[in-house]
């Protein structure tokens, strides 16, 4: 994971890229440009500092764009505070709160430091980066994260300053901040310290200098002033270069604050980051397209399966129709070939009327005798049986009629025809007896 920190300060523009490895933050490259060099900034962002896929882009604006006020609200949820602060401060800010964007810093004593900036001014800075092809995920001011630069054993009231302004921390918590208007930071620091002592009775015990101020000659009599004592994590992030670590400490502090989850971020509400939502929309579109494709393939597969089954059924029905015409050649017209064949099968299997057709046919075959060649047509409908067959002689037919009395009642012999070879064709009908079923 990487971080691309872009500091748009009043006096200079600083770009720093960090790479994280576990809990360690490592500076990969850093460059400084004169203030107002938008073309140079755009060129660097499009070439040397081209945003990587996993980079979190942080825009640190000049603190002169922001204001603050101490509040005491019974809330610790910063998201809710962002919604409430415009209502709480309505009519108490120099500009209408609808034109401002708010965030807050939660203190340990239950109070909050409300911070805000103009939507138009911040939007212009965001648009500057968007034009260069880099959209920031976070918009903040580095001095809100300077508490991560304080020495671990530091207590009391400390003032941290760089060329853009000063932040006053008491016991590690931000009291307020002030931007420098004068070109002489030393004078601005003296004014800030004096104002604190006269108005709030707060005595600054130590002044830490950051950035370019760490290289200046400390005026005589300023025994409490000193360059920032860089922590081990800060120095190691810059490969052991203490001087560079102090110069780029502001960029490091906002990255550390983001990793700790307490960074001030104005990228919400009307200034919310849209690249993330675009990415989500693209992902949802891809997911929807894949789902639609899967559904289409499923429907095609289902349609093909239905077609194959339908084709098989049509073939089966055609085969049944052919079999039907072979079984019932005298039935010229069938309303439902399949249904009639099924009905006949049920009759033959004893379903419906309850007649054991197979048993009856077996008994008829047993009484046939040797003089009867066979039955070439047998029809059983209900308990009525009709037979057609061939016999050697007419007396053989009479004998069959007598023997059929075991199985049939009311046996009648129909037409008897003599064939050229001397044999006869006959028909016989009767009612199937109950015991033969």
Q: How confident is the model over 184-208, as pLDDT tens digits?
A: 888 999 999 998 888 888 899 999 9
Statement: the pTM of the whole predicted model exceeds 0.85: no
What is the per-residue pLDDT for 252?
93
337-386 pLDDT tens trace: 777 777 777 665 554 444 466 777 788 888 888 888 888 888 887 788 88
CATH number at residue 242: 3.30.420.380
Residue 389 domain flag: yes
**DSSP string of 14-66?**
EEEEEEEETTEEEEEEEEEEETT-HHHHHHHHHTTTPPPTTEEEEEEE-GGGE
**DSSP string of 242-293?**
HHHHHHTHHHHHHHHHHHHT------SGGG--HHHHHHHHHHHHHHHHHHHH
Sheet holding 424-432, edge to edge: 372-381, 384-391, 424-432, 408-418
Residue 188 domain flag: no
66-102 pLDDT tens trace: 999 999 998 888 899 999 999 999 988 888 999 999 9
E-state strands within 40-189 = 55-61, 66-71, 100-106, 112-118, 138-140, 157-162, 165-170, 173-179
305-320 pLDDT tens trace: 999 999 988 888 788 7
The residue range of the domain holding 387 is 349-436
E-state strands within 72-125 = 100-106, 112-118
Say if residue 295's pLDDT is above 60: yes
146-182 pLDDT tens trace: 999 988 777 789 999 998 899 999 988 898 898 888 7
What is the per-residue pLDDT for 368?
81
Q: Mark whether 409 and 318 lie in a shared domain.
A: no
Between vectors from CA 293 to CA 290 and to CA 299, what angle results, nearest 5°?
140
Q: Mark whether 341 and 357 lie in a shared domain.
A: no
Contact 245, 237 (CB under 8 A): yes
Identify the band that residue 280 occupies on the pLDDT scale cut at 50, 70 and 90.
low
Q: Average pLDDT for residues 225-233, to the nearest whole number?
A: 88
What is the per-residue pLDDT for 373?
84
Helix 119-131 and helix 38-46, axial crossing angle in degrees, nearest 10 = 50
Q: Mark whether 280 and 384 lie in a shared domain.
A: no
- How many distinct structural domains can be found in the chain? 3
């Amino acid at each position: 994971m990487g971080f691309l920190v872009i500091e748009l300060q009043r006096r200079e523009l600083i770009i720093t890229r960090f790479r994280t490895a576990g809990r360690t933050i490592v500076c990969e490259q850093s460059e400084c440009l004169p203030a107002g060099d938008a073309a140079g900034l755009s060129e660097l962002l499009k070439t040397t500092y081209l945003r990587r896929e996993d980079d979190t882009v942080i825009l640190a604006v000049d603190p002169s764009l922001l204001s603050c006020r101490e509040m005491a609200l019974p809330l610790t949820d910063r998201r809710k505070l962002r919604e409430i602060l415009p209502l709480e401060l309505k009519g108490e800010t120099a500009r209408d709160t609808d034109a401002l964007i708010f965030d807050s810093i939660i203190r340990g004593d239950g109070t909050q430091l409300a911070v805000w900036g103009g939507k138009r001014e911040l939007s212009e800075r965001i648009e500057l980066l968007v034009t260069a092809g880099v959209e920031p995920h976070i918009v903040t001011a580095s001095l809100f994260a300077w508490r991560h630069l304080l020495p671990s054993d530091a207590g009391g009231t400390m003032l941290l300053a760089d060329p853009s302004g000063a932040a006053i921390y008491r016991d590690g918590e931000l009291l307020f901040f002030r931007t420098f208007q004068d070109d002489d930071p030393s004078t601005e620091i003296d004014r800030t310290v004096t104002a604190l002592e006269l108005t709030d009775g707060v005595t600054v015990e130590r002044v830490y200098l950051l950035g370019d101020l760490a290289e200046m000659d400390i005026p005589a009599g300023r025994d409490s002033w000193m360059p920032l004592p860089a922590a081990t994590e800060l120095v190691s992030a810059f490969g052991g270069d203490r001087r560079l670590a102090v110069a780029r400490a502001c960029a490091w502090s906002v990255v550390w604050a983001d990793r700790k989850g307490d960074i001030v971020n104005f990228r919400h509400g009307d200034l919310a980051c849209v690249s993330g939502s675009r990415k989500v929309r693209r992902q949802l579109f891809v997911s929807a397209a894949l789902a639609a494709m899967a559904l289409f393939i499923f429907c095609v597969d289902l349609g093909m399966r239905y077609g194959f089954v339908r084709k098989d059924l049509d073939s089966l029905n055609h085969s049944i129709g052919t079999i039907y015409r072979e079984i019932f050649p005298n039935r010229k017209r069938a309303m439902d070939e399949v249904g009639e064949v099924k009905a006949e099968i049920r009759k033959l299997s004893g379903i419906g009327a309850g007649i054991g057709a197979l048993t009856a046919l077996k008994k008829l075959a047993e009484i046939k005798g040797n003089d009867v060649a066979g039955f070439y047509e047998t029809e059983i409908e209900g308990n009525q049986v009709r037979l057609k067959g061939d016999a050697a002689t007419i007396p053989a037919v009479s004998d069959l009629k007598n023997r059929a009395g075991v199985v049939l009642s009311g046996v009648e012999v129909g037409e008897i025809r003599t064939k050229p070879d001397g044999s006869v064709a006959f028909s016989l009908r009767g009612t199937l007896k109950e015991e033969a079923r």
